[in-house]
Structure 1
Amino acid sequence: MTIQNDTVGGYGTHVHRLLDEAFAGIEMTQDRQDLKEEMRANLVARVAELEATGVGPQAAARQAIEELGDVRDILDGTGREPDGAAPDWTARRVRPDPVFLVRAVLLSALAAAGLVVLVLAATLLDVPLGGQVAAVVAVTLAAGAVTADALRQETTGNHPMPTGRALGYGLGTVLALAGLGAGWLYLSQRDLPWLVGGALTVVASVALFTYLGATQTNRHKEWVVRMQASHAQAGDRFTKDPAAAARFGLYVVTTWLLVLAAFVLLTLTVGWAWSWLAVVAGFVAMALMIARMLFSPRP
């Protein structure tokens, strides 16, 4: 792809102009225009990364465009059909699923109705306990179903998530919201079992999300993988390995939830004089985790 050496108004060549030049001469359809806008967002993010490392704006824009490669290869695809012909990317464009949209709207309406009942119970109406529990169940199940259903949908950049894993994320959402709902019922009823059950449910949700996140496999489509591979030429460990960065975030959340639980336990048992040890242990664990993930040899 040829890049012209332009400057505009004294400023460096802008990535938007370079992207327009890359698409010059290509017959544009709505699908290709959508893809161009996705590329634009990725390029802007890449330019920001390069500028953060000290690269000038003009050089950063040029490097991002060069890493992208020839957009015609992306539009036409890189694989081959059984007859050897190059596939047209637009033929594989993901179309919105009307049935999914209808399901999402109906489930969202159910969740909204449950939230309205809970808000009315907390402000204006004396809603029976059974009605409050039913509202919590409606919110949690609807949110979990929408989560799992959404992850099962193919997107432009990602293949659909396997059904079992999507259901796992849906279950994690159900557990998290059920725990929060149990905490809300405890505040309204002052019944200790609600608090205990809610805490255990939230911990189970955190454990499930941690497992799912740490074992997540790549679902990116080929053109996205190619762009990520070009980005991996620079940057630190987390920049080169987004999955490692995601795992680190999950580990951080899990570590500090355990620290919080240990802090409360020590405070209630041996007193404030010892509870700070849980925080110290958390910082030590964080330091060791960062050192291991950033500097340990890769397999």
Structure 2
Amino acid sequence: MQYIEFGKDKDKVSEIVMGLMRISEMSTGEVLDLIETGLEEGINFLDLADIYGGGKSEEVIGKVFTENPSLRTEFFIQSKCGIRCDPDFTYFDFSRDYILEAVDGILSRLHTDHLDSLLLHRPDALMEPDEIAEAFDRLYKAGKVRNFGVSNMTPMMMEMLNREIQFPICANQIQLSCAVTQVFDAGFHMDMQCDKGIMRDGGGVLEYCRMKKIPVQAWSSLQYGYFQGTFLGSDNYRELNTVLNRIASEKVVTPMAVALAWILRYPGATQAVIGTTKSTRVREAAKATEVRLSKKEWYEIYLAAGNDLP
């Protein structure tokens, strides 16, 4: 397993992150086996959100920690807040009071006294940076949160927050996979009259994060579209799978490991979030950090996913 430095204390965290969105219906024994497998493979980073399973995903992890207290110190725990799932409709809320309320709920469900990282979950167009700064300051001084980050934010959104908050943004979690490549497409097709030249990330989010030393966390790292399914083995991505299978055979790993290695090949600090609930898959994913793709292999995978270069 390879590691990056994360947050203000430069914690050593794994490049592979275990995303726990889908564990809400699993037993504590099944989840214990899952995260212990990750730990055996060197994965020490767990990613949650208060909306996953309506809070049940955090509750399951909380029960695991209650039954196995020593495990809490083995993991770097990240959760997210800001998406309000009200009976009428879902919306975003980064108000000071809601952030404070949400974190208290997260800590209660997790049966822990602090989060190692808190991300604002998607952008709130009505956010007030000074309110966010006050919430972060209170949470940090109370010992409830150690690091603060964002998800799906553009460079200018992060710049706006940076004018008020006293903490460096610890991460930006964005959608990225071999089959979801918009953050690369616009750069390749800069100044060209084609759809792929459209800046869909607000303009250079990868480059911004790299310059500011903000780790990029890739969610849906094995998916295509917006939760449309995995591209591994999909008939929609036959050429991509042919290339992934060939490279996997050459490097004696699985296609999953190659697909994740493609994400991790980006020169900035990068993590790949996996959402599997199978221990065997966790072991496959962990091998990704042992794979170093050449530039030619990286571009071959990019093109095999249906992309082009000018």
TM-score interval, smaller chain:
under 0.3
Q: What TM-score comes out, normalization by structure 2 length?
A: 0.21
Query: Higher Cα Rg: structure 1 or 2?
Result: 1
Question: Which has the higher relative contact order, 1 or 2, with Cα contacts under 8 A spaced 6 or more apart?
Answer: 2
Q: What TM-score comes out, normalization by structure 1 length?
A: 0.22
Task: Name the structure with the higher strand share.
Answer: 2
Task: Name the structure with the higher helix share.
Answer: 1
